[in-house]
């Protein structure tokens, strides 16, 4: 494991609690990237120095910490300008990266699908393009490690025109991905299959909840950004309605804008959902701040009008009479995705939330039309089903989306 020194500037408008939580999160990011935190140092100042980010004395202290611990990497818990990054690199014998580059590095290491790798590479190149001066030399001198995964030194040492051309290619590939996803969404809409999407702060337990809901075994780890590539599974609600549930990449404060832009094709799963399941770690002392971070990112994605069910997770670690450290609006539910506690209550709430978007229907279906009957049992919420022997018809009462084709056809027949 590489040895890491974590550094940060705490500005005047930042509270101690917020700064401490951000530093602890940065430590988790380093561990996720495969590093070991040897020391942490902070500096209180109104704002970062425009040239070296830190003051001269702190820069000297950082250099001494690198020498003392034999550190390989210095991680700045903020975003460095190209000038600041170059200045700090020349003043230390370690690789200097910022929080954004650390997150991008983790994404590069964890991307498994072709789509994920394209999105990460585009985000990295977008971030690195204005920082190319001196990068090739630094990477050649220091070799691989945290902050160097992804495009690699060979691409960074080529000219800007080549890199810009590569970025254009990646954008075209993402455009094709978006087109493919749009086709899939259209097919899903024609099948009247509602979409639920899991959103939440990184490591809130979204993938574990997906497994609990669908009885699947998607890989879930106690690490930041354990899920990077999107995952969708089928599910039946208590009424028998067939729906789809998608997992998404976890949000985090200070999520790089380049990453949001590159992952927009994936995050469209969020904007196109019928209902969002906002998963919150109910045991986190920063649950309120994490909730607000998610809400801010949902706003950037244009998803604020989508109904949300708040899922307070990890109740296996809560005392019975404990009060959650977060304010949430209804509808919400406590669950333990790990122990499958209250999953039935969540499923019932999901169905109730869909009914709010549907219209009531009452129709008669001939017993001979088994195909339509089967379809309605899967694509609508049937609350009452009675077979009328004298007419050999099924009377169905329930809820469906207003554009359901079979409902419209049989409603017309009943009215004739």
Q: Are β-strands 359-366 and 393-400 bridged in parallel, bridged antiparallel, or unpaired?
A: antiparallel
pLDDT value at residue 175:
86
Ligand-binding annotation for 336, yes or no, is yes
pLDDT in tens, 308-359: 999 999 988 777 666 666 778 889 999 999 999 999 999 999 999 999 999 9
Is the pLDDT at 114 greater than 60, yes or no?
yes
Q: Is 152 labeled as ligand-binding?
A: no
Give the residue with greater pLDDT, 185 vs 111. Answer: 111
pLDDT band at 136 (very low <50, low <70, confident <90, very high): very low
250 is in an annotated binding site: yes
Does 123 show up as a binding residue in the annotation?
no
Q: CB 242: neighbour CB atoms within 10 A? A: 16
Q: Which residue has the higher pLDDT, 181 or 396?
A: 396
Residue 399 is predicted with a pLDDT of 94
Give the separation between CA 234 and CA 229, rounded to whole angstroms. Answer: 17
- For the ranges 246-250, 261-265, 289-293, 296-300, the lowest mean pLDDT is seen at 261-265
In b/e form, how buried is each residue of 288-302, taking b as 16+ CB within 10 angstroms?
ebbbebbeebbeebe
Q: Is 225 within any annotated ligand binding site? A: yes
Instruction: For residues 224-241, give the mean pLDDT.
Output: 78
Statement: residue 218 has pLDDT above 80: no
CA distances, 378 to each of 166, 233, 235, 238, 360 (Å): 45, 16, 11, 11, 16
Residue 200 annotated as part of some ligand binding site: yes
Q: What pTM, to 2 d.p., does this model score? A: 0.82
| Token reading at 181 | 């996803």
**Per-residue pLDDT, 150:** 59
Determine whether the annotation assigns residue 136 to a binding site.
Answer: no
Give, in words, the CATH class of 359-415: alpha beta
pLDDT tens digits along 233-247? 899 999 999 999 988
Rg of the chain taking only CA atoms, in angstroms: 26
Q: Let me know if the fold of 2-156 is the same as that of 359-415.
A: no
> Is 204 annotated as belonging to a binding site?
yes
38 or 105: which leads in pLDDT: 38
CATH fold for the domain made of 192-355: Rossmann fold (3.40.50)
Fold for the domain defined by 2-156: Rossmann fold (3.40.50)
Question: Average pLDDT for residues 162-178, to the nearest whole number?
Answer: 87
Band (404; pLDDT cuts 50, 70, 90): confident
The rounded distance, in Å, linking the Cα atoms of 7 and 100 is 14
pLDDT at 107 over 90: no
Model confidence pLDDT, tens digit, residues 7-18: 999 988 888 888
The answer to whether 76 is annotated as binding is no
Q: Is residue 229 marked as binding?
A: yes
Q: Which residues of 356-383 are buried (b: 16+ CB within 10 A; e: fewer)?
A: eebeebebebeeeeeebbebbbbbbbbe
Domain limits of the chain? 2-156, 192-355, 359-415
pLDDT for 327 equals 79
Which range in 59-73, 139-153, 263-277 is most confidently predicted, on average pLDDT? Answer: 59-73
Task: Say if residue 249 carries a ligand binding annotation.
Answer: yes
The residue to which tokens 């590489």 are assigned: 2
Q: What values do phi and psi take at 291, rounded to 5?
A: -60, -45
Q: Is 206 annotated as a binding residue?
A: yes
Does 182 count as an annotated binding residue? no
Cβ contact 210:245 at 8 Å: yes
226 is in an annotated binding site: yes
């Amino acid at each position: 494991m590489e040895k890491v020194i974590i550094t940060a500037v705490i500005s005047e408008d930042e509270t101690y609690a917020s700064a401490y939580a951000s530093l602890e999160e940065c430590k988790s990011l380093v561990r996720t990237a495969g590093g070991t935190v040897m020391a942490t140092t902070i500096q209180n100042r109104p704002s970062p120095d425009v040239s070296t980010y830190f003051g001269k004395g702190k820069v000297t202290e950082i250099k001494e910490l690198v020498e003392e611990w034999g550190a390989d990497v210095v991680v700045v818990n903020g975003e460095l300008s190209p000038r600041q990054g170059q200045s700090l690199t020349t003043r230390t014998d370690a690789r200097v990266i910022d929080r954004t580059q650390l997150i991008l590095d983790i994404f590069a290491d964890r991307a498994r699908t072709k789509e994920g790798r394209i999105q990460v590479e585009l985000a990295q190149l977008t971030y690195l393009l204005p920082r190319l001066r001196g990068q090739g030399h630094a990477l050649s001198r220091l070799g691989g490690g945290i902050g160097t995964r992804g495009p690699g030194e060979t691409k960074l040492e080529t000219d800007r025109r080549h890199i810009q051309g590569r970025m254009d290619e990646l954008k075209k590939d993402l455009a094709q991905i978006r087109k493919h996803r749009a086709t899939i969404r259209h097919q899903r809409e024609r099948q009247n299959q509602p979409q639920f999407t899991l959103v939440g702060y990184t490591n809130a337990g979204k993938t574990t909840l997906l497994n609990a809901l669908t009885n699947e075994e998607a890989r879930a780890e106690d690490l930041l950004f354990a899920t990077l590539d999107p995952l969708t599974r089928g599910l039946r609600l208590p009424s028998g309605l067939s729906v789809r549930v998608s997992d998404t990449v976890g949000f985090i404060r200070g999520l790089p804008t380049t990453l949001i832009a590159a992952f927009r094709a994936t995050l469209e799963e969020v904007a196109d959902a019928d209902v969002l399941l906002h998963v919150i770690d109910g045991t986190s002392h920063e649950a309120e701040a994490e909730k607000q971070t998610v809400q801010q990112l949902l706003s950037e994605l244009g998803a604020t009008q989508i109904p949300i069910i708040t899922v307070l997770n990890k109740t296996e670690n809560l005392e019975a009479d404990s009060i959650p450290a977060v304010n949430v609006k209804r509808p919400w539910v406590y669950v333990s995705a790990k122990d499958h506690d209250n999953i039935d209550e969540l499923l019932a709430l999901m169905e109730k939330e869909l009914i709010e978007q549907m219209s009531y229907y009452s129709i008669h279906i001939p017993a001979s039309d088994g195909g339509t009957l089967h379809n309605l049992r899967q694509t609508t919420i049937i609350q009452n089903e009675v077979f009328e022997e004298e007419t050999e018809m099924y009377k169905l009462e329930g809820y469906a989306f207003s554009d359901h084709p079979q409902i419209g056809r049989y409603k017309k027949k009943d009215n004739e």
